[in-house]
Amino acid sequence: MSNPTKLIPTPGQTVGPFYGYALPYAKDRELLAPGSAGSIRLQGTVYDGAGHPVPDAILEIWQADAEGQIPQRTGSLVRDGYTFTGFGRSAVGNTGAFTFTTVNPGPTEPGAAPFISVVVFARGLMNRLFTRVYLPENEAALAADPLLASLEPERRQTLIARRDPDGGLSWDIRLQGDGETVFLDFDGASAGADSAGDASK
């Protein structure tokens, strides 16, 4: 028997305007109906390495519900206005801005830092980028989080949202350059912090 050959994945394709015709769908960014009990707004802007807004990015989020449970319900693609599925998608506007209507995720286990998983598709990226956004309040949980603890303080801050006066969250994504967001490089079962420059290759 011959030795198995390691297969190389087919390269991705850079995100282009054509994705705007296939990926967005009705209420894609509304994990809950705006104004419903417990709903908040997650908002921010996607910037390129020169600090300019990226107008043609698409973001996807996955998250636990307010009790820290991972949703197992269908309905992400056909919203009914009240079923929380934990998944959303948002195309950014011409100014690079994005927004989601969602809930504050709860900790998935006692003492864990709540976070939202984020995937970025944007021009110039041959493959999507993975990152996280953490809630800012529980400093003890943030300090104990394995990913955040592995980062230098200034890099750690790129993953922590700001709490808005209305209770929502603001968090910007910087693909490269000053204040570059920390992106994750997944290799099998292991995951580690990586830069956009390496993760996008």
Q: For the chain, which domains are there?
A: 17-199 (2.60.130.10)
Sheet containing 183-187, strands listed edge to edge, beginning at the edge strand earlier in sequence: 87-91, 58-63, 115-121, 129-134, 183-187, 190-194
The predicted pLDDT at position 6 comes to 78
The predicted pLDDT at position 7 comes to 76
Q: Could you report the per-residue pLDDT of 48-104, keeping only the tens digit for each?
A: 999 999 988 999 999 999 999 999 989 999 998 889 999 999 999 889 999 999 999
Query: In the chain, which ranges are E strands?
Result: 40-47, 58-63, 87-91, 97-102, 115-121, 129-134, 162-163, 169-170, 173-174, 183-187, 190-194
Q: Could you report the per-residue pLDDT of 144-192, keeping only the tens digit for each?
A: 999 999 999 999 999 999 999 999 999 999 999 999 999 998 765 444 4
The predicted pLDDT at position 14 comes to 60
Cα 84 to Cα 63: distance, rounded to the nearest angstrom: 10
Cα 93 to Cα 54: distance, rounded to the nearest angstrom: 9
The predicted pLDDT at position 158 comes to 98
Instruction: Find tokens 């296939």 and name the residue.
Output: 22
CA torsion 4-9-10-13 (nearest 10°) is 180
Q: Could you report the per-residue pLDDT of 111-152, keeping only the tens digit for each?
A: 999 999 999 988 778 788 999 999 999 999 999 999 999 999
The predicted pLDDT at position 12 comes to 65
Using the Cα atoms of residue 42, residue 168, residue 195 and residue 87 in order, give the sign of their dihedral.
negative
Cα 152 to Cα 198: distance, rounded to the nearest angstrom: 18
Contact status, residue 93 vs residue 79, Cβ threshold 8 Å: no
Using the Cα atoms of residue 148, residue 153, residue 157 and residue 158 in order, give the sign of their dihedral.
negative
Nearest CA among 152, 138, 70 for reference residue 108: 70
Q: Mean pLDDT throughout 30-34?
A: 94
The predicted pLDDT at position 93 comes to 84
Q: Quote the distance between the C-alpha of residue 122 and its chain's center.
A: 13
- For the whole model, what pTM was predicted? 0.85
Alpha helices in the chain (DSSP H): 139-144, 146-149, 153-156, 196-199
Per-residue confidence at 3, pLDDT binned at 50, 70, 90? Answer: low
The predicted pLDDT at position 189 comes to 45
The predicted pLDDT at position 15 comes to 58
What is each CA distance from 9 to 6, 15, 47, in whole angstroms?
10, 18, 28
The predicted pLDDT at position 141 comes to 97
